[in-house]
Structure 1
Amino acid sequence: MAENSKIEWTDHTFNPWIGCTKVSPACDGCYAENLMANRYGRVQWGAGEDRQRTGKANWRKPYAWDKAAKEAGSRPYVFCASLADVFDNEVDEMWRHDLMNLIEATPNLIWLLLTKRIGNVRKMTDPERGCRLLPRNAAIGATIANQEEYDRDRMKLWEVKETREPLFTFGSFEPLLGRIVLDKYAPDWIITGGETDQGPHKARRTDPDNFRYLRDQSAALGRAFFMKQMTRKEPIPADLLIRQWPEVA
């Protein structure tokens, strides 16, 4: 399921802007920083640094994807964003407004909005604060690397589900940095994976049994489970090669 993206759980990847600030242990080996800051020197990473909006040609691509999806009678996934965070405090609010307009204008696409700042989502989609309401074809996800982050953020994601009614919620448990105990407030889709080397940062190894623990809990809770990759993209054991997608009405 990767037509225009190398990410296994999506069809397309769209980056409305580039740049971010590290806010989680999951950020220590940031792919985006290593690529766009360290290798290409396109932006500087960190608080107070300018985010760079992508060009008009890039912003036109989702319209073509939407047209093709309508003609095919399909609903492809669009991951937004791999090189930034939609709900970053340091992004111009009008950029987010433009993005929400784009999402709403492409109803044949399912937009996957993944954030490490799940606590910002409700206020940044609140019309009473002058923000655009979350479009009906958007799903909301949170990056969760360890038990501390799950305990801190699971209810924030659940509250987004209850108040903003996204298509579904999802958790990116990647890189998985320890065993995580889920509960009834777990997201609808559990995506997990191990880390890869990024420049001077060497991948932290994940015990395969921690992936199995997530797999078994997902089954017990009725959640879709997606095993993306092992540490350093080692071969995935046969019993872990499960790639499910959530049901979408």
Structure 2
Amino acid sequence: MAERSVIEWTDHTWTPIVGCTAKSPACANCYAAPMAARLEAMGMAKYAGLATRSGGRGKWTGKVNLSEADVLAPLNKRRPARWFLTSMGDVFHEAVPDEFLDRLFAVMALGSRHTFQVLTKRPERAAQYLNTPDRVWKLFGSVRKHIDDEYREGSRWEEDETPFPWPLPNVLIGCTAEDQARANERHPHMLRIAAAGWNTFVSYEPALGLVDWTGWQFLKWLISGGESGHGARPSHPDWHRAARDFCAAHGIPYMFKQWGEWAPRRQAERDDLLDARRSVIVKPDGGITSGLMAYGSDAWVLDRLGKKAAGRLLDGQLWDGVPVLKGGA
């Protein structure tokens, strides 16, 4: 099933893979886990056994379901669009077999009118999969075995030549990097993917700490944003400014997606004493206080307003940069 998305940087969510396992600090308040538990409670077999829910929070069980009914969804849409794979799991989760990934990438190859945004917290597996020497021929075999002729008509693949352009020019491979530790950990794998010719991006959301983006000049896109929902953690404005300024210096499209639950009001003052249920002071190093503690002039007061009221303006401006890919939407 293809769904119109409310996510600012895509048009449709594509969910042939559902289910996950928590991987890093960004996963602490995952929106997808409680949603999966809720959808199972509503009788949707696709989400059976994926997550448990308690007190409004969800927890992945580690089970992953593969939805055959959703594999071909993008090929049924003629209008060029952006497709996010997958909003309810991780494409490169350890439980997803390579053969199933071959089928999904075959669909992306045939759907060259679309742009596909593949986001993972497991870029090490993505790098291994995408750099397999005969991968393009495995995709070709998957097309012949699994995809009906009606979807192949007018496509660019031919039996007597390289069946697809590889890397696929209409695909973005991205990773989440919520803080410096995760950026350091995932950088070598993303660099390997980019060096192989793939378009790459980073989702710096939820931003949980300042990141030095030196060495990420190979990116085609960077998205940053604060956390929303239950238990959301505030993000310092300077973290997003650093990402924005890095992109501006290197010609990388930048999108500020949202403040999330917490919006900046002003720089903190030495005598501030705040109601921590509604307002907090955030230091550049991520330290949080309600006031009357040691902090410099670079600390900020953030108010808990909710996602809609907090908005999407960074320094009074919308930042909606997106990359334009060859052959994609």
Deviation at 1:243, TM superposition (A): 0.6
Q: For the aligned residues, what is the CA RMSD?
A: 2.3
Provide the rounded CA distance (Å) in 2 between the counterparts of 1:149 and 1:142.
10
Taking the aligned partners of 1:128 and 1:48, their CA distance within structure 2 comes to 34
Runs of 5+ consecutive residues of structure 2 not aligned to the other structure:
42-46, 52-58, 140-165, 262-306
- For 2:195 and 2:107, the matched residues in 1 are separated by 24
Do residues 64 (structure 1) and 102 (structure 2) align? Answer: no
Residues 1:188 and 1:60: Cα distance change in structure 2 (over 3 Å): closer
Deviation at 1:54, TM superposition (A): 2.2
Aligned match for 2:223, one of 180, 184, 191? 191
Equivalent position SS for 2:71:
helix
Q: Which runs of 4+ in 1 moved over 4 A?
A: 45-48, 128-134
Counterpart code for 2:168: P
Which of these residues, 229, 237, 240, is aligned with residue 313 of structure 2?
237
Alignment of 1:34-49 (within 5 A): 34-37=34-37, 40-41=40-41, 42=47, 43-45=49-51, 49=62
Q: Which residue in the other structure is 1:124 paired with?
A: 129
- Confirm or deny that 1:173 pairs with 2:173: no
Deviation at 1:15, TM superposition (A): 0.9
Partner residue in 2 for 1:218: 247
Distance 2:39 2:79 in 1: 34
Name the aligned partner's letter for residue 252 of structure 2: R
1:209 aligns with 2:238: yes
Distance in 2 of aligned mates of 1:39 and 1:138: 29
1:152 matched to 2:185? The reply is yes
CA 1:218–1:36: 2 relative to 1, 3 Å: same
CA contact (8 A) 2:220 2:323 kept: yes
Aligned in 2, Cα 1:48/1:128: closer, same or farther, shift over 3 Å?
farther
Asked whether the 8 Å contact 2:11–2:82 carries over to 1, the reply is yes
The 1-side partners of 2:176 and 2:62 are apart by 22
* C-alpha distance in structure 1 between counterparts of 2:17 and 2:324, whole Å: 29
Indicate the larger mover: 79-88 or 125-134.
Answer: 125-134
The answer to whether 1:12 aligns with 2:12 is yes
Larger radius of gyration: 2
Over the matched positions of the two proteins, sequence identity in percent amounts to 28
Structure 1, residues 200-236: CA drift from partner, whole Å, max 9, x if none? xx00111122212211121112211101110212123
* CA distances 1:103-135 after superposition (whole Å, capped 9, x unpaired): 112111111111100111122224447665753
For the structure 1 residues 237 and 54, does the alpha-carbon distance in structure 2 shift closer, same or farther, using more than 3 Å as the test?
Answer: same
Distance 1:238 1:21, change over 3 A: closer
Partner SS, residue 68 of structure 1: coil
Which stretch of the first structure deviates more once superposed, 88-97 or 5-14? 88-97
Greater per-residue helix proportion: 1
Q: Which amino acid aligns with 1:144?
A: A
Which letter maps to 1:115?
Answer: T
Q: How many residues align?
A: 234
